[in-house]
Amino acid sequence: MNYSTLQLEVLEKSAEIVINRPEAMNALNSQVFRDINAALDEIEQNDKLCAVIITGSGKAFVAGADIAEMSDMGPSEARVFSTTGQDTFNRLANFKIPVIAAINGFALGGGCELAMGCDMRIASNLAKFGQPEVNLGLIPGYFGMKRLADIVGLSNALYLLCTADMIDAAEALRLGLVQKITEPEELMNEARKIASKIASKGKMSVAKVKQVTVQGTDLNFSDARKLEIEAFASMFGTPEATEGMKAFLEKRKPNW
């Protein structure tokens, strides 16, 4: 399938989504959201895939939401635009396989929110992060305030949100916003290494880890505990777990 705002490449065990609006610094508009969802639909149909990598073309990951589209919106249109973005990023957060953000450049506003909707984030040492919405008299609209506070802590989040300061990759790493920094030319290679490492594990167990971890963050201790017990028990007797434990005892790699 052809997409007007992104490129999708399906490899043997992973897929790569490249947001491709370099003339607009890959700004998020309604068509980008439609294309991301269509690409995820396509990926979901391929049972061989174990990970998704999302990156941007040119010098930006995503430099924000498309102000040209937003400038004429009233409250009702803005509500739809916010809901569409939240639904898209929530889909990434709850996608059945891990999603890796490979942040090659500016990840600002909606771009930072997109990155935070992914399961893990690696960044070029040239990457920049920020939530500059208050510079426009606006606030983040894609669940970025909650996700940022969850990731970096309440006070750090409020500092970044209220000052609109832009931070570099090293500071993002210190705050826990990214997990790894690479040289620009090594970014995609590193993302592919991570995807390949994930693909070498039990696919069902990786999917279950993601599901339980994400669901557990919204539960109280008692309910999260019960969720983990039931999920743990459900893996026993599956072909994947049977083969994994047998391979361990036989001191060989599992044949998945």
**Residue 4, Cβ neighbours under 10 Å: how many?**
10
Closest CA to 95 of 112, 117, 113: 117
Q: Helix (H, G, I), strand (E, B), or coil: what is residue 20?
A: coil
| Residue among 12, 23, 77, 113 flagged as catalytic | 113
Residue 113 is a catalytic residue: yes
Among residues 16, 44, 69, 133, the one annotated as catalytic is: 133
Count of CB atoms within 10 A of residue 232's CB?
A: 11
Q: What is the pairing mode between strands 6-10 and 14-19? A: antiparallel
Tokens of 190: 């590193």
Query: Is 228 an annotated catalytic residue?
Result: no
- Spatial strand order of the sheet with 60-62 comes to 60-62, 106-108, 128-130, 167-168
Which residues are catalytically annotated? 113, 133
